[in-house]
Amino acid sequence: MTTIDQPPMRFPWPPVIIISAAAIAIILGTSVPLPWLRGPFAEFLAGVGALIVVGGATLAVLAVTRFRKVGTPVRPTHAAQRLVTDGPFAISRNPIYLGGVTILIGLALVTHNAWFILAGFAAGIAISLIAIRPEERHLDRRFGKAYRDYAKRVRRWF
């Protein structure tokens, strides 16, 4: 297997990071709850949070659908077959990860659990270090100038 055919990682860290962050937020929210707003404004924020969750999920689903449509694997344990730069990838180089982190932030508002906000930021940092950097190296090796031009036009997160 040549270098360009090697997948960016051997273990699918991003979903594990997102799920772990959610689990930690739930555990901390029940064992060490942080203060939260009360009353009608809290309920308004819960509605906004629900919209944020739906938006994050929609972004991730659109990105997965786009990957499947062009025939490139979604899983980071497989080498990219095509460089996808349109659809949700025109606004973020990582819309699936952005969707996952957005869902965590929205869940904070829906559940009145501030730990989800902290978990979302921690998950974003962990994904950047553990997943995005290796994926970017992989895409640079595989697609060269086309990827570098895309990276100059589109931000990593948003």
Q: How far is CA 115 from CA 48, 56, 77, in A?
A: 17, 18, 30
Question: Which is more confident, 126 or 10?
Answer: 126
User: Domain spans of the chain?
Assistant: 18-29+38-150
Which whole number is the average pLDDT over 113-138?
97
Answer whether residue 6 shows pLDDT above 90.
no
Tokens of 108: 């904070």
State which amino acid sits at residue 29: G
Measure the CA–CA gap between 152 and 132, rounded to whole angstroms: 15
Contact between 25 and 105 under an 8 Å Cβ cutoff? The reply is no
User: pLDDT by residue (tens digit) across 47-96?
Assistant: 999 999 999 999 999 999 999 999 999 999 999 999 999 999 999 999 99
Alpha carbon of 82 to those of 14, 93, 138: distances in Å? Answer: 20, 14, 12
Give DSSP secondary structure letters for 135-147.
HHHHHHHHHTHHH
pTM given for the model: 0.93
CB 76 within 8 A of CB 8: yes
Task: Give the model confidence (pLDDT) of 89-118 as tens digits.
Answer: 999 999 999 999 999 999 999 999 999 999
Token readout for 67 is 């990957």
